[in-house]
Amino acid sequence: MKRLNGDVLSGLVLAALGVYVIIEARGWNYMSEEGPGPGFFPLWYGIAMVVLSLALVLNAAMRPAAGAPVDWRCVGRALLAWACFAASVALMQPLGFLLALALLTLFVVAVMYGQPLKIAMAAAVGNAVVFHLLFVLALDLSLPVGPLGF
């Protein structure tokens, strides 16, 4: 039997998390009078998690086992990205969704991708503006608002 590698293990854990998300989302309204309900996005997110994580498991199971050592630099970058994502979620309440999203985008583009600050700022502002236009104005959804009003 082939030894389980990181892709198989992480894929199985993510698939289990996706199943949990689907189970929880089924307890919420899928649709409401105004449109998609609170269970709409989590249900589809959970389905996407399960499908993509199972694709990761199948891909890892089909390819030959690699004896390459773990690249700890890449592992560190992945963990840093997850930590920044978690920090942006924690900052949504005090700063507001759009500012937390802009800061996350700024960090990812500038630090993780190494782009110049001008490009990172443009991406951060553009991402926040598109989210505001799409979700707040077009879909009339309320996002967490910070002390600055956005």
Domain boundaries, given as residue ranges, for the chain: 1-68, 71-150
pTM of the model: 0.60
Closest among 113, 122, 8, 101 to 63, alpha carbons compared: 8
For residue 1, what pLDDT is reported? 42
Q: What is the pLDDT of residues 49-89, one digit of tens each?
A: 999 999 998 988 787 666 667 678 888 888 898 899 999 98
Reference 96, options 136, 146, 149; nearest CA is 146
% of the chain residues with pLDDT over 90: 43
**CA–CA gap between residue 106 and residue 111 (Å, rounded):** 8
- Residue 83: CB atoms within 10 Å: 10
The ranges of the chain with pLDDT < 50 are 1
Q: For residue 144, which of 106, 105, 88, 104 has the smallest C-alpha distance?
A: 88
